Amino acid sequence: MERVKAVIFDMDGLMIDTERLYFDVERLIARNFGKEVKDETLWKMMGRKPLEAITVFAEDLGLDISPRELLSIRDDLFVKKLINEVEAMPGLFDILNSIRGKLKML
C-alpha cells in the first residue's frame, strides 16, 4: 500500500468562503448600477465559467455593459475584498498543522 505523499488544496470554498465574497461583490455592483440582484440570479451564476456567469448577471439585471468589462469590474472588487476581508474556514489551520512537515503541500 502506497503512502500519501502530497496534498493538493482547492482554495475556493474549502480554505476560504469565496461564495460570500462573490455574492457581496455582485450585490455591490448591482447597487452601483441602481439595481438589486436576486438570490436566484446569484445561485444561477454558481458553478459556471466566469464570463458565462457574469453574462447571466448582466442579462438578469438588464445592464447595458459588456460582460468582459463587467467581469473586469467584478474581479477588481473581488481581489480588494479578498485582501481585506478573507477569513480561513473553520478547521483549516488544524488540518494544515496536522500535516505540516509530514506531507508536501501543493
Active-site residue, 12 included: yes
Q: How far is residue 33's CA from residue 89's CA, in Å, rounded to a whole number?
A: 32
Catalytic residue, candidates 10, 39, 64, 94:
10
d(CA 41, CA 59) in angstroms, rounded, equals 10
3-state helix, strand, coil in the chain (%, to 5): 60, 5, 35
Active site residue 17: no
Q: Which residues have a catalytic role annotated? A: 10, 12
